[in-house]
């Protein structure tokens, strides 16, 4: 609470928002709804010399300002198996996709799920290509479902390895059948287009899929219900 009192977020236009402590060292701030395009944001941490309790004192002050870019929202709907991409509310492209095939597999006492979890993600980073290795999440490369491949035009949306990426081998399934291990497969043309279009922070909504809902630690800040988010503040009433 002592630290949060010294964290300030100012937006123009004004947006009501809240901090949520995701662990005992890190807090995230967001408004109830997506930031409107063009919003000016200034974040200040006035911590230098501040007594934060328990023998801890703030080391330095920090400040950063930035402007929210165009509204870009990609909606991946398992009902249609299409990714509809909107910019400032206008549909700019529709891309057939093949998402997680579902089901689970037990490996070494660990249960691995093959769903594209429903929820609201954001673009984290882009890599062209990226090496995808199933052993990094516990699935041996030499197992029936294992893999280690170089994938072009990959847009990461979760820390545990969900991407929108090029996969020409599944073009036959895109738009009709889910066959991936959890990623959203796209044709080469569509994957390259989305790779060039997307920026970190852009929203990706995954709807009507199976599996457990996206959690906050999986880049799911926008998936946390607002009441729960506000309750994560150290200064809640």
Residues assigned a catalytic role: 165, 183
Task: Characterize the bridge pairing of strands 104-107 and 110-113.
Answer: antiparallel
Helix (H) or strand (E) holding 77: strand 72-77
Residue 133 Cα to chain centre, angstroms: 20
Of 113, 175, 97, 185, nearest to 145 (Cα)?
A: 113
CA–CA–CA angle 65, 67, 70 (5° rounding):
160
Q: What's the alpha-carbon Rg for the chain, to the nearest Å? A: 20
């Amino acid at each position: 609470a002592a630290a949060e009192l010294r964290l300030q977020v100012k937006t123009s236009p004004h947006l009501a928002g809240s901090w949520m402590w995701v662990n005992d060292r890190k807090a995230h701030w967001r408004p109830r709804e997506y930031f409107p395009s063009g919003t000016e944001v200034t974040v200040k941490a006035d911590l230098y010399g501040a007594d934060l309790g328990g023998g801890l004192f703030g080391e330095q002050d920090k400040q950063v300002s930035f402007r929210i870019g165009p509204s870009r929202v990609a909606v991946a709907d398992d009902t249609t198996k299409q990714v509809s991409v909107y910019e400032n509310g206008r549909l700019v492209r529709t891309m057939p996709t093949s998402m997680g095939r579902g089901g689970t597999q037990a490996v070494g006492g660990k249960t691995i799920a093959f769903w594209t979890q429903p929820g609201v993600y954001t673009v984290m980073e882009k890599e062209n290509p990226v090496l995808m290795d199933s052993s990094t999440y516990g699935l041996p490369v030499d197992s029936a479902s294992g893999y280690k491949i170089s994938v072009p035009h990959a847009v990461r949306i979760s820390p545990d390895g969900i991407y929108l990426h090029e996969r020409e081998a599944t073009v036959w399934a895109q738009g009709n059948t889910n066959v991936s291990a959890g990623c959203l497969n796209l044709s080469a043309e569509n994957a390259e287009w989305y790779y060039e279009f997307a920026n970190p922070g852009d929203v990706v909504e995954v709807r009507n899929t199976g599996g457990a809902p996206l959690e906050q630690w999986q880049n799911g800040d926008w998936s946390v219900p607002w009441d729960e988010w506000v309750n994560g503040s150290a200064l809640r009433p």
